[in-house]
């Protein structure tokens, strides 16, 4: 079979295959197999020119080039036909405009945010307003005004981060400085809740060097320890359930006297006793007490006229207990799969 017959046969095969192509990808594959640099027609052209006498090379080149041009023309025509067919199908498509649109996936609030919102709402119903303060604090607001002078052993309990180059500037170890700033800025009565981030050198499955805490402060005439327990009991039953109880155990904090550790009924066994609460039926969640008169002296409140109470708990701790989260690191990893579990 001479070259002209071979090229004609290849062109015929090519025409059949591009007619069968239904997508642009299939069409381009057929074109590459026949008209591309390594296609069958190009290969035949190169072999014929290589083996032909010099006098015939020009004629062979012209013949094969005509076939290649035909291949390219057929490719362009079929490419346009496929595009026209796709447009026609698109125009023929029926769209029911009455169908509802596809809803975008909604985000999810973090469990700490959910817990904080509920805490603020519960105490807001008792007349507590939200107060905020700086996270980088002075030694006076963070320690000294809270009856913790520089040599006080209670400072060792705080595991403080000090700001480099400033011995009297720290990352606040609790939100108690907000209480001091509030009392310095206004006379009694005071009723605030101070939520926010605090920092301590602590890191294990139930502690983080940065965590969220909320503290409450109430100062007025005639405030008693009974008022403190009533407020804590109301909060606990609203946050965890009406069957929850509160227990106050004697303790020590330099800025309150008397002081107490706050225990609540175990959220896992509802006070019946389990491994988590070590069969006691109680879980410790924070500290509280009546404001020490020395603190009132720093903010120039009359300790003979006014009394008050303060308490503090971890927002992260409240969220972990409410949602049964066993590792605090999950709260800070930023994994969206974790947040999706809380709606």
CB 182 within 8 A of CB 219: no
The pLDDT of residue 30: 85
Residues 126 and 275 in one domain: yes
pLDDT (tens digit per residue) in 147-177: 888 877 767 766 888 888 777 888 999 999 9
**Can you tell me the distance from the alpha carbon of 282 to that of 263, in angstroms, rounded to the nearest whole number?**
6
Residues 60 and 127 in one domain: no
Considering 38, 63, 92, which residue would you say is the last residue of a domain? 92
Return contacts of 149-155, CB within 8 angstroms, 24+ apart: 152/254, 154/253, 154/254
Residues 175 and 265 in one domain: yes
104 inside domain:
no
Residues 221 and 305 in one domain: yes
20: enclosing H helix or E strand: helix 3-20
195 inside domain:
yes
97 inside domain:
no
Chain-centroid distance of CA 286 in Å reads 26
Q: Which residue has the tokens 């709260």?
A: 331
207 inside domain:
yes
**Can you tell me the distance from the alpha carbon of 154 to that of 140, in angstroms, rounded to the nearest whole number?**
15
Residues whose CB falls within 8 Å of the CB of residue 159, separated by 6 or more in sequence, listed in order: 173, 200, 201, 202
The pLDDT of residue 157: 66
CB 288 within 8 A of CB 260: yes
Residues 179 and 310 in one domain: yes
The pLDDT of residue 1: 45
- Cα 56 to Cα 11, 12, 50: the distances in Å are 22, 25, 11
CB 198 within 8 A of CB 211: yes
102 inside domain:
no
**Can you tell me the distance from the alpha carbon of 263 to that of 287, in angstroms, rounded to the nearest whole number?**
9
Considering 61, 92, 123, which residue would you say is the last residue of a domain? 92
Phi-psi region of 39 (alpha: psi -120 to 50; beta: other; left: phi over 0): beta
Q: Which residue has the tokens 């071979």?
A: 6
Considering 92, 126, 146, which residue would you say is the last residue of a domain? 92
Residues 116 and 151 in one domain: yes
Over the chain (343 residues), the average pLDDT of each successive run of 10 is: 74 85 86 82 76 76 79 87 87 82 82 94 95 93 88 73 83 93 95 94 74 94 95 95 93 92 91 87 94 94 95 93 86 83 77
161 inside domain:
yes
Residues 127 and 245 in one domain: yes
240 inside domain:
yes
Residues 51 and 159 in one domain: no
pLDDT (tens digit per residue) in 282-304: 999 999 999 999 999 999 999 99
Residues 226 and 123 in one domain: yes
Cis peptide leading into 258, omega within 30 of 0?
Answer: yes
Residues 83 and 32 in one domain: yes
98 inside domain:
no
* Domain range for 34: 3-92
Number of domains in the chain: 2
**Residue positions counted in the chain:** 343
Give me the sign of the Cα torsion angle 226, 232, 235, 239.
Answer: negative
What CATH number does residue 333 fall under? 3.30.930.10
The pLDDT of residue 322: 92
The pLDDT of residue 95: 78
Residues 45 and 169 in one domain: no
Residues 158 and 264 in one domain: yes
The pLDDT of residue 124: 95
């Amino acid at each position: 079979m001479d070259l002209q017959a071979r090229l004609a046969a290849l062109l015929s095969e090519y025409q059949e295959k591009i007619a069968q192509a239904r997508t642009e990808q299939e069409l381009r594959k057929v074109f590459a197999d026949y008209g591309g640099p390594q296609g069958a027609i190009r290969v035949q052209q190169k072999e014929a020119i290589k083996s032909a006498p010099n006098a015939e090379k020009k004629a062979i080149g012209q013949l094969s080039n005509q076939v290649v041009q035909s291949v390219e023309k057929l490719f362009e025509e079929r490419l346009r036909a496929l595009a026209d067919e796709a447009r026609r199908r698109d125009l023929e498509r029926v769209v029911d405009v009455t169908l509802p649109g596809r809803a975008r996936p909604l985000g999810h609030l973090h469990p700490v945010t959910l817990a904080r919102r509920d805490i603020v709402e519960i105490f807001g119903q008792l007349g507590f307003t939200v107060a905020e303060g700086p996270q980088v604090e002075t030694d006076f607001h963070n320690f000294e005004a809270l009856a913790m002078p520089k040599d006080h052993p209670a400072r060792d309990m705080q595991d403080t981060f000090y700001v480099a180059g400033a011995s009297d500037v720290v990352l606040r170890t609790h939100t108690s400085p907000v209480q001091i700033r509030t009392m310095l800025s206004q006379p009694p009565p005071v009723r605030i809740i101070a939520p926010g981030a605090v920092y301590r050198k602590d890191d294990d499955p139930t502690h983080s060097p940065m965590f969220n805490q909320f503290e409450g402060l109430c100062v007025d005439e005639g405030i008693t320890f009974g008022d403190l327990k009533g407020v804590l009991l109301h909060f606990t039953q609203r946050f965890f359930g009406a069957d929850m109880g509160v227990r106050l155990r004697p303790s020590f904090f330099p800025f309150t006297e008397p002081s107490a550790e706050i225990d609540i009924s175990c959220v896992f066994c509802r006070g019946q006793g389990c491994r988590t609460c070590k069969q006691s039926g109680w879980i410790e969640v924070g500290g509280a007490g009546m404001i020490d008169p020395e603190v009132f002296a720093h903010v120039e409140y009359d300790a003979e006229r006014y009394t008050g109470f303060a308490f503090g708990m971890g927002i992260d701790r409240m969220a972990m207990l409410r949602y049964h989260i066993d590792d605090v690191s999950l709260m800070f990893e930023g994994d969206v799969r974790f947040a999706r579990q809380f709606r």
